[in-house]
Structure 1
Amino acid sequence: MTLETKKSVFVELGNFLSQFSETGSIQKSSVLHNDIFFDDFEKLIHLSQSHNGWYTPEQVYFSIQSWVEALTEENLEKWLSKYKEEFTQADKKEKTVALILAGNIPLVGFHDFLSVIITGNKALIKTSSNDQHLLPFLAKYLISVDENLKDKIIFVEGKLENFDAVIATGNNNTARYFEYYFKDKPSIIRKNRNSAAILTGKETNEELENLGEDIFRYFGLGCRNVSKLFVPKGYSFDAFFQAMFKYQDVIHYEKYANNYDYNKAVFLMSNFKLLDNGFLTIKEDASYASPISSVFYEYYQNLEELEKRLENDSEQIQCIVSSNLTPNSIKFGETQKPQLWDYADNVDTITFLLTTK
């Protein structure tokens, strides 16, 4: 398959996904194989919560729409155009790349899957037990569009064998295991990361409401979710809590409410000082990783010192949200809408796949 052919297949997948929306899914006559896949995918979206309690239809639809926006001919061309030389010089021998995927948010491993296939390699995929259905379904759709992909996509349940490289995602503990187990293979091993926001006290209500999207989307389970706030000395959280009120309905979701009650109780029993609005607690803490339903905060003296701190902690941080206060910061409300060229952990997956022997 040529690169252009592979791109066109993923564009067709984007067209298929574009039919599915929380406000109402509508079939388009121009989309291939709807007679086979449309109804079953709509059913799968609504069954996903039975497979993983955090995968509500709202969250699955959001993930799907994010990929609809990404999988356009224009975006794929923009993403891959910088690698023209690497594609030309790349080893023509097909590699089998083992993918060990996370399952914290819907389709979290799709970018790695896309990267392996688009670079002309074979994907040997071990899905997370928390997300075993969405990607295999989309893989079937891709194969229906081009049968040449049939031998390029393999899902495994047991031990991974006969592969040339590996991309594995897990927590800090499993990452140490991965690093040892795959020490003889070229690899990308991803660990725990969290995202932070820098506030000045001058943010508009709209910006703070958008920050709520960064905090509450996927119930805060993603590495791109903001779990830590940096605020100036004397910062008042009144405007912050007023903006967060937009997301109050999250407490009506039982799994989130259980986490809120539990984590709040743990904090209070430990005599920690909390600010609480009935569905979100915020606590002064130096850590980046806050539990579900909680956000940590820390005061800063000046932005220059804070920037140095963030540089030193870069291996713990996935992304930073601010009003252009730091290089490469992300706008409020945009953390869960990464572009194809926004690589996890800032590791260029395409370069890795094209240059690994």
Structure 2
Amino acid sequence: MLHNLSSYHKMTVQKRIEAFAQLGTYLQNIAEDELHSLAWRAQNANNWFTIESVTTALVNIGQMLNTSDLEHWASKYPISEKLTDRKVGVVMAGNIPAVGFHDWLCVVLAGHQAYLKLSALDAVLMHWLVTKLAELVPEMAARTHIAERLNDVDVIIATGSDNSARYFSHYFGKKPNIIRQNRTSVAILTGTETEEELQQLGSDIFTYYGLGCRNVSKIFIPESYDLVPFLAAQEVYSYVQNHHKYHNNYDYNKSIYLVNRTPHLDTGFLVVAESQELVSPVSVLYYERYANEQDLLDKITALESKIQCVVTNKIIDFQRIVKYGKAQSPLLADYADGVDTMLFLTQN
């Protein structure tokens, strides 16, 4: 125990970086049978977590956790070389695989004690990641705790729906906190995109079956835009209809549009409808036309508090811009809601 205690105190920022880099290396070289076993267990707990979705999430995390990027990212913050006893509670969502990983990374790298309230929908993957880090670097084991209740934490980071955010604000409002609500992402098209770019955008729509806050739920298109080439480019994602839950959503939403005689386009796996609403149901993509550059900017700005990121290859005056095909591959400094989690943790 004395040896372990000594090791804890030697967990400098560089040691913490190296620990997560080891996890990154492991994820990038994970054996196929271990990955399939893990994905099967995750899918057993949440049918949306297919092996493809789990693989995508773990690959993205593995690529993110390289020493060079971690060092560059951490160097921007006044992170304490000494570990703290500060208890940071993290209430995690479970809409896509390992969605709470970045919050956990920030807390542990900042030197605090992480108390994780896992979502039942994503408990398998997050528990595996926590356990794997402890196996690779035993000194890190004492820095993370899986918790059912977060009564005694000093700081809170909570992600959920608009309804749960109200509860979190009431319950944790007196503690330093980051409380996140529902967000979604949008894309901008100009009519000059290539077929390859349109297919890249498709991955931002269909990865994780559209369940993530970085998934595109709406596209903004010019008034004269012809949707046919865009829809044709999405055919490569028709496999989503093979997922029973996605297909059930598609059948239901299509029937609603037909019964209500609401104008829409139908690819056989995606319903596309004109709407001023922002958040579309699973298997539905909204579109809205813009008259000119200023009209587009006005529309985007009005929705800023509900937009996670804007996917486009166009240059516009908006902070959270990502290129086509990159929405589900966030970088270390791509913070949810644009709130700098690491800065918050180094100040609290």
TM-score when scaled to structure 2? Answer: 0.93
Instruction: Specify which of 217, 227, 236 is matched with residue 237 of structure 1.
Output: 227
Q: Counterpart of 2:326?
A: 334
Q: Counterpart of 2:183?
A: 193
What pairs with 1:181-220 in structure 2 (closer than 5 Å)? 181-220=171-210
> Take 2:206 and 2:83, find their aligned partners in 1: how far apart are those partners?
44
> Take 1:270 and 1:181, find their aligned partners in 2: how far apart are those partners?
41
Instruction: Specify which of 5, 15, 19 is matched with residue 9 of structure 1.
Output: 19
Instruction: Specify which of 116, 119, 122 is matched with residue 107 of structure 2.
Output: 116
Say how many residue pairs are matched: 336
Question: What RMSD in Å do the two structures reach over aligned CA positions?
Answer: 1.5
Unaligned runs of 5+ residues in structure 1 are 27-38
> Take 2:162 and 2:170, find their aligned partners in 1: how far apart are those partners?
13
How far residue 93 of structure 1 moved from its aligned partner, in angstroms, is: 4.2
| AA in 2 matched with 1:43 | S
Question: Would you say the 8 A contact 1:102–1:128 is kept in 2?
Answer: yes
How far residue 250 of structure 1 moved from its aligned partner, in angstroms, is: 1.2
Matched, 1:69 2:63: yes
Q: Counterpart of 2:116?
A: 125
How far residue 41 of structure 1 moved from its aligned partner, in angstroms, is: 5.2
Matched, 1:306 2:296: yes
Unaligned runs of 5+ residues in structure 2 are 1-10
Query: Residue 213 of structure 2 aligns to a residue in which SS?
Result: coil
Question: Would you say the 8 A contact 1:281–1:295 is kept in 2?
Answer: yes
Q: Counterpart of 1:30?
A: none
Matched, 1:350 2:342: yes
Greater mean alpha carbon deviation, residues 320-329 or residues 63-72: 320-329
Q: Counterpart of 2:93?
A: 102
Matched, 1:142 2:133: yes
Query: Residue 210 of structure 1 aligns to a residue in which SS?
Result: helix
Question: Would you say the 8 A contact 2:185–2:309 is kept in 1?
Answer: yes
Q: Counterpart of 2:50?
A: 56
Matched, 1:18 2:10: no
> Take 2:132 and 2:199, find their aligned partners in 1: how far apart are those partners?
37
> Take 1:93 and 1:49, find their aligned partners in 2: how far apart are those partners?
36
How far residue 42 of structure 1 moved from its aligned partner, in angstroms, is: 4.3
How far residue 270 of structure 1 moved from its aligned partner, in angstroms, is: 2.5
| Gap change, CA 1:92 and 1:113, over 3 Å in 2 | closer
Query: Residue 212 of structure 1 aligns to a residue in which SS?
Result: helix
How far residue 2 of structure 1 moved from its aligned partner, in angstroms, is: 0.4
> Take 2:236 and 2:204, find their aligned partners in 1: how far apart are those partners?
13
How far residue 200 of structure 1 moved from its aligned partner, in angstroms, is: 1.0
- Name segments (4+ residues, structure 1) moved above 3 Å: 39-42, 90-93
| AA in 2 matched with 1:15 | T
> Take 1:336 and 1:207, find their aligned partners in 2: how far apart are those partners?
15
Residues 176-199 of structure 1, C-alpha deviation per residue, up to 9 Å, x if partnerless? 111111111111001010100111
The percent identity for this pair of structures is: 41
How far residue 40 of structure 1 moved from its aligned partner, in angstroms, is: 5.1
Matched, 1:292 2:270: no
Q: Counterpart of 2:39?
A: 45
Residues 127-157 of structure 1, C-alpha deviation per residue, up to 9 Å, x if partnerless? 1110111111111121123333222111123
